[in-house]
Amino acid sequence: MATTPGIHKDFNLAQFDHDERAIINTISKEWYVTNSGHALHFTQASTYKFILVKPTDNLQHAFNLERELVCVFSPYDDFHPRILDAIGKAQSHFPHLRVDRICSLVVSKDEASEQKLRQLLQNDTEAQIVVPFTYSELRRPNADTHFFRNRLRAHFYTRDLFASESPLKTDLFFFGRTDLIHQLVDRHRTDQVSALFGLRKAGKTSVIYGVQRALAAHGFYSAFIDCQTPAFHQRRWNQALWYVLNEARAACGSDVRLGLESEFTPERAADLFEKYFLKLHEAVGKKSILLTFDEIENASPGLSPSAHWRDDLDFVLFWQTMRSLFQRKSGLFSYLIVGTNPRCNEQPKIKDVDNPIFAQFPRIYIPRFSSVQTREMVRRLGRLMGLDFDEFVYSQLTEDFGGHPYLIRHLCSAIHRIADSQRPVAVGKALYEKAKKQFIREGRGYFEMILIVLREHYPNEYEMLKFLALGDHKSFDLFATADPAYTEHLQGYGIIELQGDEFVFRVDALKEFLSREARFQRLNLTNQEKWAEISERRNKLEPKLRLLCRNMLQVFYGNADAKQKVLDIFGKARNTTLAGLEYSELFSPEKGQIYWEDLRKMISKHWDCFKHIIGPDQNKALRHLELINEHRADAHAKLIAEDDFQMLRLSFGFFEDKLKQFSE
């Protein structure tokens, strides 16, 4: 049924003052005013009124506003942050399906309310869209028939709702993982332990926050233990038990007195942990507490940055205590382990001692988005930003980015940046492909962020992905046969899948990224392909080496002395020709005549200038430079042996790694 402007027949105008009634009358010319709300009291001197308004059909279509919006009145001369609390409080009085949680309206007496609101929300990526108006604007009917539409456009279309880097702490912009949250909550409520795994930026921490919100809504408590902080992993296992106990108390908001950390000696820690947890259990009404251990790799054997967790038995002793108490005292607590990889759950022995949590819980990987979930998120946020996505785009996004919400959101953010600023705008195949190419070309940081844990902690799995990206199925299969857990993990992450008898990428964008990153590791190249690679890498490396020499000599000697030291390396003829150039011009490809061998001599003769960047082995560095110079462009006719080519790759790799930060 069509929604037209007006005021509901049961609306109670009598509870509003003269100015507010005039404002409501103005609003009713463009909106359908449905509910008169009630007063929201915070202090004796702080009270807000609100109403509900429903957008008319044209506003619904333009801004994807299908539900009613809260509109709060701020009758004070100064705009206070508390009005955001008033919005939340007003929304909480109505069912989720009735009132929009992402958008709301504010009418303030403060003429500077719009500027103050922007300052208040500018660093909060999860803040809802709050559209401000002033009393003076709305006390009289506005002659501008597009007044409300233009104000909404100014606050909807300029904000990038996709560009969120931090885990989502509220459910405002949370999509697609509700079933997983319910599953984890149900496991806790039935006294079962759980584990959740997935790549970085897959949304694990957002799910943890979702679990905490769901438990709190049912009156349960949950404690978040970040294993990544030195406050946890720098402690020995016995001190870590005290830390967990203290975090649990804080999460419950209890002031129950617990033991001192110094009491938790290796001999007494397990008994004291049980004693004080039982005491806390009584203090919180005998409610089971969920203990969530995030970034578990940081307190795992072979992986932790702290030696006692990495190389000693702290992991075993800690989890012996946790598991024993969990099994003996039902309803006291359960735990949720969160990380990238289930390795800590798969090792039967740790230093010849039984692993206490070996096979203790099912391996739950954070699921990828389906096309339906992608559509729900992208359509909702996109239309609020004036982006009208074609139906084709939702399935293509899911296929190209494997249902990875972080990559999907940032690709949509790229679409927002390059799309026409005159909104709404249609997002079809052409705009999608343009944004995708730009994102893959410029989005190296996004892909590295996702894969960095594999590269640093699980290098075999990372190498397998590179082999697969390069089409080297033989090398991939060697790893897969050596340990089937590798492919199980990669499938669990949602990166690869088995098609027929061969593994393929599910995330095409990651395949493209890895194939570019690993393109200099391809095997069985023709002689022509080898020389093409050599030429490409040398042409990219030489300007960086030139810049390094120019900068470091200048830093150490100053312009005049550095120039003379460079000229001294040249022969007499070049010295005479180039002496009139400025120091920086000597290194210019257009004006100077500096060759690769000149750069090698500069580094050799003035090693102290370079050793902190290239060092410490001078002979090794110079040998790499010599090897690269031996394979110059004029040698292309020669056949290059495979062993020589692999040595040359090592030389290029050595300097490419050292000079990452240098560019012309």
Q: Are residues 550 and 606 in the same domain?
A: yes
For 345, the domain range is 178-365
Q: What DSSP assignment string belongs to 265-314?
A: -TTTHHHHHHHHHHHHHHHTTS--EEEEEESGGGGSTTT-SSHHHHTSSH
Q: Where is the domain boundary, 495, 521, 547?
A: 521
> What rounded mean pLDDT belongs to the chain?
90
Q: Are residues 544 and 403 in the same domain?
A: no
Mind listing the pLDDT tens digit for each residue in 495-528? 999 998 899 999 888 898 898 888 888 777 888 8
Largest CA distance in the chain: 99
Q: Are residues 629 and 651 in the same domain?
A: yes
Q: Are residues 201 and 274 in the same domain?
A: yes
Q: Is residue 584 part of a domain?
A: yes
Q: How much is the average pLDDT of 160-167?
A: 76
Q: Is residue 449 part of a domain?
A: no
Give residue 203's pLDDT.
86
Length of the chain: 664
Q: Is residue 452 part of a domain?
A: no
Give residue 293's pLDDT.
98
Give residue 657's pLDDT.
87
Q: Are residues 136 and 76 in the same domain?
A: yes
- AA identity, residue 183: Q
Q: Are residues 277 and 192 in the same domain?
A: yes
Q: How much is the average pLDDT of 62-68?
A: 84
Q: Are residues 531 and 507 in the same domain?
A: no
Give residue 608's pLDDT.
92
What residues contact residue 656 under an 8 Å CB cut-off, 6+ apart? 537, 540, 541
Would you say 23 and 59 are in contact if contact means Cβ atoms under 8 Å apart? Answer: no
Question: For the chain, what is the domain count?
Answer: 5
Give residue 169's pLDDT.
59
Mind listing the pLDDT tens digit for each residue in 280-300? 999 999 999 999 999 999 999
pLDDT value at 636 more than 80 = no
pLDDT value at 9 more than 60 = yes
Q: How confident is the model at residue 456 (pLDDT cuts 50, 70, 90)?
A: confident
pLDDT value at 225 more than 60 = yes
Q: Is residue 451 part of a domain?
A: no
What residues contact residue 400 under an 8 Å CB cut-off, 6+ apart? 411, 436, 507, 508, 509
pLDDT value at 561 more than 80 = yes
Q: Are residues 494 and 541 in the same domain?
A: no
Q: Which residues of 144-163 are buried (b: 16+ CB within 10 A; e: fewer)?
A: eeebbeebbbebbbebebbe
Give residue 168's pLDDT.
58
Q: How much is the average pLDDT of 474-495?
A: 92
Mind listing the pLDDT tens digit for each residue in 596-635? 999 999 999 999 999 999 988 999 999 999 999 888 755 5
> No. of H helices and E strands in the chain?
30, 18
Q: Are strands 289-294 and 221-226 parallel, antiparallel or unpaired?
A: parallel
Percent of the chain with pLDDT over 70: 97
Q: How confident is the model at residue 27 (pLDDT cuts 50, 70, 90)?
A: very high
Give residue 267's pLDDT.
96
Give residue 59's pLDDT.
86
pLDDT value at 165 more than 90 = no
Q: How confident is the model at residue 123 (pLDDT cuts 50, 70, 90)?
A: confident
Give residue 167's pLDDT.
60
Q: Are residues 202 and 322 in the same domain?
A: yes
pLDDT value at 179 more than 80 = yes
Whose tokens are 């909104």? That residue is 423
Q: Are residues 129 and 42 in the same domain?
A: yes
Q: Are residues 574 and 630 in the same domain?
A: yes
Q: Are residues 99 and 194 in the same domain?
A: no
Give residue 104's pLDDT.
94
Cα separation, 293 vs 57, in Å, equals: 48
